[in-house]
A and B are shown apart, each in its own frame.
With several copies, the nearest count.
Chain A
Amino acid sequence: MHLARDTLLTAYRSMATIRAFEEKVHEVFARGEIPGFAHLYAGEEASGVGICLHLNDADYITSTHRGHGHAIAKGCDVPAMMAELYGKRTGLCLGKGGSMHIADLDKGMMGANGIVGGGPPLACGAAFSARMLNTNGVVVAFLGDGSINEGSTMEAMNMAKVFNLPVIFAIEDNEYAQATATNWSVAGSMTKRAAGFDIPTTLVDGFDFFDVHQAAGEAIDKARKGEGPQLLHIKLYRYYGHFEGDATTYRGKGEMDKVKETKDCMVRFRADLTAKHDIAEADLEKIDAEIAALIEQSVQDARQAESPREADLHTDVYVSY
């Protein structure tokens, strides 16, 4: 698939924004500025961006506890996301949701989700809506590897197939679910599991933006054309702990450093862009600088922003009551 220069730069900007966002969150979380739990997406950027680049606002995604990257890739407002993590009234969800519940339905982002396996049934529902409302939309259910063992995920896979729903199950396989190795906890394999429902699987190199983009494009096209659910098994890695504060001692010695050094999706994408796609370092540096400024400003603004007011506690429970 040939990619226009603009598309490539958009992809780069999105991936670099996620990386910068997550690194900043890591930093300010350690300083105690962000309350609650935070699960960072750094390392996995090529996946979210490579997929979401194919989606429009009428398409939906469901996300996971590790949702910042999906939200940014799907076009959520970055300063508002940062304010949300800070628990501020200017946050994307008025400070009521936080990291694990970032959502923006207008952008087709149905929410990060604190429940493993929470998303896939919702994705089926959005696909039913798309069919009923004739939007021609597809739905991507982002999932961690560990979530394949949740009954909800498997039920949704069966349901998606039985109804031939335009749902793409995007399994972001970073080898671990919390501290447990996926090799151990998943009997069979992702491909076999999907085959159990007659859902075709594409194995994807999640360190390579182009591979993700290509595979996702094909899967999304098929789903959109009525060929039913698809599964992407995306191999990748997360750079930080399961959540902020995790010492990650379950990892092999030097494992992460090696991945970072040899496979990092940002390094690789940058190299590809400059070497093969005729994009100048300077262009990327300019984007980097803009992103750095955006993130810095987001943090500044979030720090200054007003907190929710006591009365806000009681609103938004119901539309009417």
Chain B
Amino acid sequence: MSRKSFRQAINEALRDEMRRDPTVFMIGEDIVGGTGAPGDQDAWGGVLGVTKGLAPEFGAERVIDTPISEMAYIGAAAGAAATGTRPVAELMFVDFMGTCFDQVLNQAAKFRYMFGGKVKTPMVIRTMYGAGLSAAAQHSQCLYPIFTHVPGIKVVIPSSPYEAKGLLTQAIRDDDPVIFFEHKFMYDDKGEVPDEPYTIPFGEANLTREGDDVTIVALGRMVKLANEAADQLAEDGIHCTVLDPRTTSPLDEEAILASVRRTGRLVVVDEASPRCNVGTDISALVAEQAFDALKGPIRLVSPPHTPVPFSPALEVHYIPSVERIRDTARSLMGGA
């Protein structure tokens, strides 16, 4: 166990699984970097260095740079998975999903059902999401609600380096198609991460904090912000439970319902666009199945229904903040 960055945790999970299972391979754009070029190989290791060092260890046959052809290589991952290997594809930014979505929506996600259970498709798509780096409208989206909507895919959103390593290991070992969301603002976040491989099961929410007053369900980077908000609220005597679902598909409905049954109050924090997002999904779940336990309205903390703005002066208002989470939770307690 030692302190590692989110980036390093992901790199380790990839490395360990590649070592463990020779059928695991990686494919993406510049996940090596320098392919065909006269200078350094492994020059990039992905656009933010997450896969650095893997090509030298495993070679170009298992760490595969591709032309800029998302439909082809995401589809190739699906085809490979259906025929005996375990690809881990990198979609550089989830914003690019529009160039390859068919291979996820209509192919990978539906194979097993359409074929009557006669295939498994153990592929992982690692992808970068989220706002905060002034990457503007086409490089800052979350979009995991879209994947959560699609039956046949599993959706994983790690909230810390520890979570990232354990969940990615599980994703690679999992027999279903998985999309794994890495927040671009979190790569340098540090935390304790065991050196040895471990898995965190899907569909089991993580209780990052317990309190009887308000349940806060938060996703990905929002988990940290929710805990900070809870810290502040604790000073005012308001005690929050902060739940990290870890995976939105499958979703640990029981953990959420159990917590709301205890607190009677729910705030859901989702960095995704507000319409039909995971926040509304969880709210609807609770409004249907734990209605009687509710002491007040379910509050959603999400960005506005706008594209992500470029200017930091705007982006700061776009992203849910600790203050908004805190004030929203407090409002449920009758506070200002």
- A residues with a Cβ closer than 8 A to B are 35-37, 60, 62, 87-88, 91-98, 100-101, 103-106, 110-111, 113-118, 120-126, 128-133, 146-147, 149-152, 155-156, 158-159, 162-163, 176-186, 247-253, 255, 307-310, 312-321
Contacts and interface: CB of A to CB of B under 8 A. Distances in A.
Interface in B283-311: 304-307, 309-311
Nearest to B73: A159
B154 interface: yes
Contacts of B250: 321
Contacts of B27: 128
Interface string B114-147: 1111111000000000000111111100000000
Given A95-B311, A96-B116, 7 more contacts: A97-B115, A114-B137, A125-B83, A129-B80, A162-B67, A180-B29, A310-B317
A152 B102 contact: yes
B238 to A, nearest CB: 27
B47 interface: yes
Nearest to A135: B84
20 contacts: A62-B79, A94-B117, A97-B136, A100-B136, A101-B136, A103-B115, A105-B118, A111-B115, A115-B95, A115-B99, A121-B73, A121-B74, A122-B103, A126-B79, A156-B76, A179-B43, A309-B313, A313-B306, A313-B314, A317-B113
Contact of A35 (B118, B152, B312): B312
A316 B116 CA distance: 6
Contact of B72 (A87, A106, A121, A248): A121
A28 to B, nearest CB: 14
B162 interface: no
Nearest to A131: B61
B36 interface: yes
B102 A115 contact: yes
Nearest to A150: B68
A194 to B, nearest CB: 16
Nearest to B249: A321
A314 B306 contact: yes
| Nearest 10 pairs of A and B residues by beta carbon | A121-B75, A125-B79, A184-B36, A87-B311, A122-B79, A98-B310, A181-B36, A252-B38, A94-B116, A114-B138
Contact of A98 (B66, B77, B175, B311): B311
B232 interface: no
B336 interface: no
A250 B39 contact: yes
A120 to B, nearest CB: 8
Nearest to B27: A128
A130 B85 CA distance: 9
A124 B116 CA distance: 23
Contacts of A250: 33-34, 37-40, 43-44
B107 interface: yes
Contacts of B30: 178-180
Contact of B116 (A62, A97, A117, A128): A97
Interface string B152-187: 101000000000000000000011100000000000
A124 B75 contact: yes
Given A184-B35, A252-B39, A253-B39, A317 B134 contact: no
Q: Which of B62, B72, B74, B106 has the most CB of A within 10 A?
A: B72
Contacts of B69: 149-151, 155-156, 158-159
B118 A104 contact: yes
Contacts of B78: 121-122, 125
B177 to A, nearest CB: 9
Contacts of A179: 30, 33-35, 37, 43-44
Contacts of A126: 79-80, 82-83
B233 interface: no
A313 B79 contact: no
B203 interface: yes
Contacts of B102: 115, 118, 152
Given A95-B310, A100-B139, A129-B85, A314 B304 contact: yes
B310 A313 contact: no
B174 to A, nearest CB: 8
A62 B311 CA distance: 23
Interface string B303-332: 011110111111001100000000000000
B83 A110 contact: yes
A45 B112 CA distance: 28
A208 B238 CA distance: 69
Contacts of B314: 87, 95-96, 308, 310, 312-313
A129 B81 CA distance: 8
B96 interface: yes
A115 B154 contact: no
Contact of A317 (B96, B99, B151): B151
B76 A122 contact: yes
A185 B103 CA distance: 21
A318 B44 contact: no
Given A94-B117, A159-B67, A184-B36, A133 B72 contact: no
Contact of A118 (B65, B107, B152, B305): B107
B39 A101 contact: no
A124 B79 contact: yes
A94 B306 CA distance: 15
Contacts of A103: 111, 114-115, 118-119
Contacts of A313: 304, 306, 309, 314, 317-318
A192 to B, nearest CB: 15
